[in-house]
Amino acid sequence: MPDEPVVLYEERDSLAIITLNRPEKMNTLNDAVIQGMADAIDAATESAAVRAVVLRGAGRTFTAGYDLNPGAGSRPTPRQYGAPEVEQRPGAWDPVRDYQFMGHNMKRFMKLWECPKPVIAQLHGYVLGGGTDLILCADLIFMAEDAIIGYPPSRVYGTPTTMMWVYRLGLEHAKQFLLSGDQIDAETALRIGLVSKVFPLDQLSAETEKYAMRYQHIPANQLALNKMLINQAYENMGLRTTQMFGTLFDGITRHTEEALRWREQFGEIGFRPTISRRDAPFQDYGERPR
């Protein structure tokens, strides 16, 4: 319904259930969705009744990534992030403003990582592009057996900002899927350790909640300290520095000549044909039509 919030928050038993609720747009990420998710994580963190968090999506897919449709209203303004009010000439790019904007998104995604309570991402349908920046910050990922994960912006127009791929997968698999943008089906995701569990779609929600409710039997301090200890090992490997470069490089890749020409095709041939044209050469490597 149009009057419903774009992110739903519910506390049930010992769980906080956070639902991306923009199904008519395939739960694509704009500022309202990202902020709603961040606020929901804050609410779960502050609630004494919540022992674990489940993040899911409404409708037929978890998220198709950032809302790139022209006029989506997700771009920043200079005043919004404290940038000086300098009149921008046509085609100019402000790298600091871009970094602040995308860095703000990245920091809100990282609330999953920083939450002292276990966060399980429950995936169905597609999880693409910027959606992977979000879900890879979760502690565990459970996936429907017919779901797909991928970062097609690797082909043009983006780099991961939270850059969890290499930390979760290691060098070989991170390069395999980030250099090509190839999609990852559930069987492969489980085999390479990208996700913890795979279930039939009709069992995914119940099985995820059943697993998450086990955390109510563990002291909250124990959960928080173990999560902090594991996370710190990855922080020591340079995670935050990698994210700084990933966020900066993302802006650069969106302003190369190739990227600008690609985005111009939105107006020339339409949004979906532009996406399809980019992905067509990779259909032989496990791509499914969207």
Helices (H), 66-185: 95-109, 111-114, 130-135, 165-169, 171-178
What is the per-residue pLDDT for 84?
63
> Does residue 162 lie in a domain region?
yes
Residue ranges of E strands in the chain: 7-12, 15-20, 52-57, 119-123, 126-128, 140-144, 148-150, 184-185, 197-199
> Does residue 267 lie in a domain region?
yes
What residues contact residue 120 under an 8 Å CB cut-off, 6+ apart?
Answer: 52, 53, 54, 55, 138, 139, 140, 141, 142, 208, 211, 212
Q: For residue 252, what is the domain's CATH number?
A: 3.90.226.10
- The whole domain housing 22 covers 7-285
Calpha distance 159→108 (Å, rounded): 17
> For the chain (length 290 residues), average pLDDT per consecutive 10?
87 97 97 98 98 98 90 51 70 90 97 98 98 98 98 97 97 97 97 98 98 98 98 98 97 96 94 93 64
Distances from the Cα of 290 to the Cαs of 11, 148, 278, in angstroms?
A: 33, 11, 13
Distances from the Cα of 90 to the Cαs of 84, 87, 93, 94, 266, in angstroms?
A: 17, 10, 9, 12, 18
pTM as predicted: 0.93
> Does residue 269 lie in a domain region?
yes
> Does residue 290 lie in a domain region?
no
What is the per-residue pLDDT for 289?
39
Domain count, the chain: 1
> Does residue 2 lie in a domain region?
no
Tell me how long the chain is.
Answer: 290
